[in-house]
């Protein structure tokens, strides 16, 4: 049976061969996820991560100078590797995947791959990218990834992001905080709901209503009541005020 490295090398070939090669590796991934196959899963993940950054051999040019080593596989193949890693990657593969966050052609698939790994290492990689990456659209995507990772470390990063110089990133972070039923988050969401921009104010107000709902569902009814009362008594738009008033009656 061909090794993963051999099969991966065929992903950049003719269409039919590339399709067959991808199917072969995908089958390896599926088999590695069967119960009791933890060791096989780790091996497949490690080999895929290794192929993501496999480099050309070291050599010298005609003048005896080192030729810069470069990735063996083309971008299209490395994107496929990242997608295959979504099925098997764990903490050990995070560094290799996180490195791809710095590559404009790979970073979106790297973000999606990290989405599938629930660990502090993956959290840290996403937060680092949020703080260092360029491009509003990509950073908004990172915030969306962080929104589904409910822990204190991520929450602190989102709180910081509400003051980001990119307004869309900041507003998306405000909306993401609504997923974290921690009463202290109302300070950040309420501040955004006072934004002079009517569109931003509306989005923040909607997020604040959702935040109060999540507080109530989490059992923090006194905190939820306080937020609802603030919305109802404030200058939010009619739909948000009505939602708050109805929720107060139901509590």
For the segment 154-180, the average pLDDT, to the nearest whole number, is 97
Q: What is the pLDDT, as a whole number, of residue 164?
A: 96
Biggest CA-to-CA distance, the chain = 82
Confidence of residue 60 (pLDDT cuts 50, 70, 90): confident
Within-domain flag for 141: no
Looking at the domain assignment, is residue 38 inside a domain?
yes
Q: Which domain holds residue 54?
A: 1-117
Establish if 33 belongs to a structural domain.
yes
Contacts 24+ apart (CB under 8 A), 184-188: 185/155, 185/159, 185/211, 186/211, 186/223, 186/226, 186/227, 186/230, 188/159, 188/162
Establish if 82 belongs to a structural domain: yes
| Closest alpha carbon to 215 in 203, 227, 204, 206 | 227
pLDDT of residue 1: 59
Q: How many domains does the chain have?
A: 1
| Distance of alpha carbon 13 from alpha carbon 19, whole angstroms | 9
Give domain status of residue 204, yes or no: no
Give the percent of the chain with pLDDT over 90: 85
Instruction: Report if residue 18 sits inside a domain.
Output: yes
Q: Is residue 90 part of a domain?
A: yes
Per residue in 79-126, pLDDT (tens digit) is: 999 999 999 999 999 999 999 999 999 999 999 999 999 999 999 999
- CA distances from residue 115 to 68, 144, 174, 232 in whole angstroms, order as listed: 32, 10, 20, 36
Is residue 42 domain-resident?
yes
Residues 139-158 pLDDT 10s: 999 999 999 998 999 999 99
């Amino acid at each position: 049976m061909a090794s993963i490295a051999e099969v991966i090398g065929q992903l950049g070939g003719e269409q039919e061969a590339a399709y067959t090669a991808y199917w072969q590796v995908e089958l390896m991934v599926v088999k590695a996820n069967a119960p009791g196959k933890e060791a096989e899963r780790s091996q497949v993940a490690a080999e895929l991560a290794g192929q993501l950054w496999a480099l050309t051999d070291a050599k010298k040019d005609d003048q005896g100078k080192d030729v810069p080593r470069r990735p063996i596989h083309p971008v299209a193949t490395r994107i496929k590797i990242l997608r295959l890693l979504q099925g098997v990657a764990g903490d050990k593969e995070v560094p290799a995947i996180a490195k791809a966050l710095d590559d404009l052609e790979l970073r979106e698939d790297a973000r999606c791959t990290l989405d599938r790994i629930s660990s502090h290492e993956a959290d840290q990689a996403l937060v680092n990218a949020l703080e260092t990456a360029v491009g509003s659209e990509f950073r908004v995507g990172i915030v969306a990834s962080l929104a589904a990772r409910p822990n204190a470390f991520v929450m602190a990063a989102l709180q910081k992001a509400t003051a980001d110089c990119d307004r869309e990133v900041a507003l998306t972070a405000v909306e993401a905080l609504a997923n974290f039923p921690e009463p202290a988050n109302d300070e950040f969401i309420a501040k955004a709901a006072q934004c002079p921009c009517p569109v931003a104010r509306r989005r923040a107000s909607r997020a604040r209503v959702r935040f109060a709902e999540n507080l109530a569902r989490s059992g923090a009814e006194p905190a939820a009541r306080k937020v609802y009362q603030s919305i109802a008594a404030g200058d939010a738009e009619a739909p948000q005020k009505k939602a708050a008033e109805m929720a107060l009656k139901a509590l």
